[in-house]
A = this chain, B = another copy of it.
Amino acid sequence: MSALSDSASPLYEKVKDFVLANIGSGKWAQNARLPSENDLVNSLGVSRMTVHRALRELTSEGHLRRVQGVGTFVAPPKAQSTLIEVSNIINEIRDRGGKHRAGVILLERVEHPAAAIVSSFEFDQTKPVDHSLVVHFENDIPVQLEERYVNPALVPHYLDQDFTSIATLEYLQRCTPLTEVEHLISAVPAGPEQARLLQMPERDSCLVLHRKTWTGATVATVNTFTHVGSRYSLGSRYRPTHKPA
Contacts and interface: CB of A to CB of B under 8 A. Distances in A.
A65 to B, nearest CB: 16
Contacts of A178: 20, 23-24
Contacts of A182: 237-239
A165 interface: no
A221 to B, nearest CB: 14
Contact of A79 (B24, B83, B173): B173
A177 interface: yes
A24 B211 CA distance: 21
Kindly name the residue among A79, A178, A181, A184 whose own CB sees the greatest number of chain B CB atoms within 10 A: A79
A169 B81 CA distance: 11
A185 B79 contact: no
A240 interface: yes
A85 B82 CA distance: 5
Nearest to A230: B187
A133 B201 CA distance: 30
Interface in A70-86: 77, 79-86
Given A178-B24, A203-B203, A233 B85 contact: no
B88 A240 contact: no
A245 interface: yes
A217 interface: yes
Interface string A121-151: 0000000000000000000000000000000
A207 B236 contact: no
A205 interface: yes
Contact of A24 (B82, B170, B174, B177): B177
Given A81-B85, A81-B88, A180-B240, 19 more contacts: A23-B177, A24-B177, A24-B216, A80-B87, A80-B173, A82-B86, A82-B183, A83-B85, A84-B86, A84-B236, A180-B239, A181-B239, A182-B237, A183-B238, A184-B236, A185-B235, A187-B207, A189-B230, A205-B205
